[in-house]
Every structure is written in C-alpha cells, then in structure tokens.
Amino acid sequence: MSTRDLGGVVVAAALPYRADDAAPAGLAVDYDTYAEHCRWLVDNGCRGVGPNGSLGEYSSLTDDERRRVARTAIEAVGADGIVVVGVHGPGAHQARYWAEAAAEDGAHGVLCLPPTLYRANRGEVLAHFEAVASVGLPVMVYNNPFDTKVDLTPDLLAEIAQIDNVVAVKEFSGDVRRVLEICERAPGLAVIGGADDVVLESLLMGATGWFAGFPNVFPAESARLFELATAGKLDEARALYEPLVAAFRWDSRTEFVQAIKLGMDMVGRHGGPCRPPRGPLSDAQREQVRADMGRALAALGVA
C-alpha cells in the first residue's frame, strides 16, 4: 500500500490531559500518554493515527500544543504506520500553515475540513483545498456538513478531485448512497468511511478506509471488522458489527468526544476529561454510554 494511499483503519486519536492549574482550563496535554496510545493503536492492527482532528480537540489547543501533538504522534508511530494530521482552519492561510508544519514534521498526509468558521461558497471551498494541496502532501478532504455547514456533495467532490494531491475524502454525511456516487463521479478519489455507525455499509459499497473514532477503545477488533468487510466476509463482519453499533452511534452525536473517552476509561485506557467548550456528559448520557459500551464489550468478550 502506497503512503499516498491514506486508506485502512486510521484512528482519530483521542487526546489525554492531566490536571495542571497553570494550563488552559486547568488541563495540560499528557504527551507521554498520547505517544503510548498512538503506539498501542498501531500495535493492535490499525494502519495509523490522525492527530489534531475533532476527536483530538484541536480547536481547544494552543498553537504550540497543536504542533507538539502532531510531532508526538509522528515520532510514536515511526515507520510502523501512517500519520494523517488534521490541518483544519478558518481560512486557507491557516490550513496551509498547518499543512506546511505537518510536512516539515514528517506526516504522511493531512486531513482538512472546508473553512471552519464561515459558510464558504463553491469557489472558496476549491481555493481552500488548492492552497492546502499546494504544500505537496496527500490530502484527505473532510466532509462534515453538520459542523461546517458546507456539504461536499458528490458533484463538488468531482471538482475537488481534480486538484493535484487530493487523494481521498472522509465522508461523514451518514448518507451511504453517496459512496457509489462519489466513486462514479470521482473515480480516482478514495472514499474513507468517516462515521463509525455506517462503516460496514460504507465499506461494502466501496469505501477503502475508515477514519475512526471508537477504535480508540477496541482497535484490534476494529481492524478485524475492516479486514472482514473488505474481504467480502459479510456474515462474519455483520456478526462482529451489530453488537457494536449502539456504541458506534455516539460517534455521530454532539458528545462523541466525551462518549469515546468514557469508553476508553471503561477498558482501562486514559480517556479522561475534555477542555471547553466540551463539558461533562449528563448523568443520563453517561448511563446510556455505559450501557451501549457494555453491550459491545460483552459481545467482544472484554466484559
């Protein structure tokens, strides 16, 4: 698999903190624990990690923290996997800056949303991705119309795919009908499943990767699910997938970061708190996450 191919299971690595009154919101990034976590994900069968995504709370980090998080992931994974760094920014100049930093630090590719604080039009979206792609790293564009209010529809992706170095799209719309349409309209663009709760459906329709959230909790089992799905072993894949879907649905909810971190805590990993604006789960939400995770873990023989 070429390093320009950003497929496989790439985990949007959750970011651990430790209490520190001098740090933003009283929480300092725990780089050593983050490095160990990135290493653990790759050692358990995932192809790589994605630092500085939404799950990595990039928008709550200082610039220095954000750069160090990416470097930590790159150093931890080494030659044993790929690192696809989130370079999201309000404008093309910010996103390009982060792409340049990722290139300097040795990343294999970048993940990039459209402009994050502004509902960009078609021309502005194209200019944004052209600026990021001009850095030279393989680019995975990220379609998250819920957070950005910009929908990278299949016809728009057909245009974006013409930009040199744009190689993939993380598709988070939840509409699995789009997978085949993207493949038809932009045959050179790899479709990467972006929502955990439709990943099997996406892989069966032709997605070649999974940019994943809940594999922070059970990476080996997630890698196995990807392997079964891409090998066409539907019965085995479905038997593994169905008990996990209730937990996976949290990946498409507002509180997905908190839910995944709670799942990590439940299996003895370091999940912990989030920085603002994310607050703690309500009691009802915690109870539901624990129930959904409990079913998944019981099915996997972990609980």
Q: Could you tell me which of 123, 112, 57 has the C-alpha nearest to residue 87? A: 112
Phi, then psi, of 256 in degrees rounded to 5: -65, -35
Q: Which residues fall within 8 angstroms of residue 140, CB to CB, at 6 or more apart?
A: 6, 84, 109, 110, 111, 112, 167, 168, 169, 170, 192, 211
Q: Of 17, 31, 170, 241, which is the active-site residue?
A: 170
Q: Could you tell me which of 229, 219, 197, 209 has the C-alpha nearest to residue 263? A: 219
Q: Could you tell me which of 187, 160, 157 has the C-alpha nearest to residue 172? A: 157
| Structure-derived torsion over alpha carbons of residues 261, 262, 263, 266, reported in degrees to the nearest 10 | 130
> Do the beta carbons of residue 70 and residue 96 sit within 8 Å?
no
Look up residue 130 and give its two tokens.
Answer: 């052209």
Q: Of 31, 34, 58, 142, which is the active-site residue?
A: 142
Q: Is 123 helix (H, G, I), strand (E, B) or coil?
A: helix
Report the distance separating Cα 37 and Cα 2, nearest Å: 24
Q: Is 142 a catalytic residue?
A: yes
Q: Let me know the angle formed at the C-alpha of 134 by 129 and 138, rounded to the nearest 5 degrees.
A: 75
Q: Is 78 left (phi over 0), alpha (psi -120 to 50) or beta?
A: left
Q: Is 170 a catalytic residue?
A: yes
Residues with a catalytic annotation lie at 142, 170
